[in-house]
Amino acid sequence: MFEKLFGTSDGLKDMLPKVRGQYIENVKLAKYTWFGVGGPAEVLFLPKDTDDLKTFLVRKPQAVPVTIIGGGSNLLIRDGGIPGVVIRLDAPEFSKITFNGTEVTLGAGLRNADLKKELIKRGVGGLEFICSVPGRIGGLIRTNAGCFNRSVDEVLVKAHIMNEWGEVYEVGAEDFNFKYRSSMFPDNWIVLDVTLKGIESKPEEIQKIIDEQAEYRKAHQPINKKTAGSTFKNPEGLAAWKLISEAGCKDLKVGGAEVSDMHCNFLINNGKATAEDIENLGEMIVEKVKEKTSITLEWEVRRMGVKK
């Protein structure tokens, strides 16, 4: 089915329902990912609002595959691209911020970093780590994202999601069965917004924590490189970076992909890498760590699309 739809000249776009948002054909997805690699989307759909998204899901041909991408920070799109329709929630409707005391409801399309100013303004702390997680709000739940010894499951109150039939549900944190860097998040769910619980805090204290976290990242992680962040999950009780280092992987390279010299759990596109280079480098690391320790590292970076 994918081969039939993907790359056809007679137009997947012509099969799709009329919407108020925008359809764009054959869009290069590399520009939407932090790695800066990956093939095209057959059609990119940018819905105008929730109703527009519902219209699309209800009326589209059932056989057309749909893929949701967010900020692209924890994502590796393969060189063959993504068949069918790729959805990004870029419209202002999906980036709203609403406070209710120390609880804040955030649209799925909001960049995590854009939350900082509002937290300081409102004196709501306890969520500073969210500002340090790369990407957008909608991507937080699927992977139970976190950093600095905090994770989303600790602060999530509820979320509104839309299923593949355009139906909207309110779900609580207990519905996701959160574990370390994972959740029971169905592939056919689209996050519309999330509500997080913070605590009262002084603006200067919030600013201090955010600044300290930013400085730590600057000192220890390759933040100015083309990277997707931590490549592998930490096995229980262990550090992935240490296993990678001890397996002799610190200087590995494949094509234009290489292991960061600042943090060996970060893979880097030196500007000439393909998605295949990056994935092959990651799989090489998995094999070497397994040979050395009998531990199989699990990818934290989400891989999708077809190989070229």
pLDDT, position 10: 57
Residue with tokens 């219209």: 55
**Closest Cα partner for 192 from 67, 60, 95, 98?**
95
Which tokens go with 140?
């937080």
Percent of the residues in the chain that have a pLDDT greater than 70, as a whole number: 97
pLDDT, position 8: 47
- Non-local (6+) Cβ contacts of 54 within 8 A are 162, 166, 168
| Architecture of the structural domain at 240-299 | Alpha-Beta Complex (3.90)
User: In the predicted model, is pLDDT for residue 3 greater than 80?
Assistant: no
CATH class of 2-87: alpha beta
User: In the predicted model, is pLDDT for residue 5 greater than 70?
Assistant: no
Query: Is the C-alpha dihedral spanning 80, 22, 191, 230 positive or negative?
Result: positive
Residue ranges per structural domain of the chain: 2-87, 95-220, 240-299
pLDDT, position 22: 97
- Non-local (6+) Cβ contacts of 226 within 8 A are 34, 35, 36, 268, 269, 270, 271, 273
Q: What's the pLDDT tens digit per position in 112-151? A: 999 999 999 999 999 999 999 989 999 998 889 999 999 9
CB 176 within 8 A of CB 164: no
Neighbours of 81 (CB within 10 A): 24
**What is the spatial distance between Cα 3 and Cα 11, in angstroms, rounded to a whole number?**
13
**What is the spatial distance between Cα 88 and Cα 134, in angstroms, rounded to a whole number?**
16
pLDDT, position 181: 86
pLDDT, position 166: 97
Residue with tokens 């057959």: 42
**Closest Cα partner for 21 from 67, 84, 88?**
88
**What is the spatial distance between Cα 261 and Cα 193, in angstroms, rounded to a whole number?**
37
Mean pLDDT calculated for residue range 284-294: 98
**What is the spatial distance between Cα 46 and Cα 36, in angstroms, rounded to a whole number?**
20
pLDDT, position 89: 97
Active site amino acids: 181, 230, 300
Q: What's the pLDDT tens digit per position in 79-107? A: 999 999 999 999 999 999 999 999 999 99
pLDDT, position 45: 98
Mean pLDDT calculated for residue range 195-213: 97
The continuous run of DSSP H or E covering 157 comes out as strand 156-162
| 119 DSSP 8-state letter | H
CB 165 within 8 A of CB 140: no
Q: How confident is the model at residue 31 (pLDDT cuts 50, 70, 90)?
A: very high
User: In the predicted model, is pLDDT for residue 7 greater than 70?
Assistant: no
The CATH code for residues 95-220 is 3.30.465.10
Backbone torsion region of residue 279, taken as left when φ is above 0, otherwise alpha when ψ lies between -120 and 50, otherwise beta: alpha
User: In the predicted model, is pLDDT for residue 189 greater than 90?
Assistant: yes
- The upper half-sphere exposure of residue 92, i.e. CA atoms within 13 Å in the direction of its Cβ, equals 0
Q: What's the pLDDT tens digit per position in 255-279? A: 999 999 999 999 999 999 999 999 9
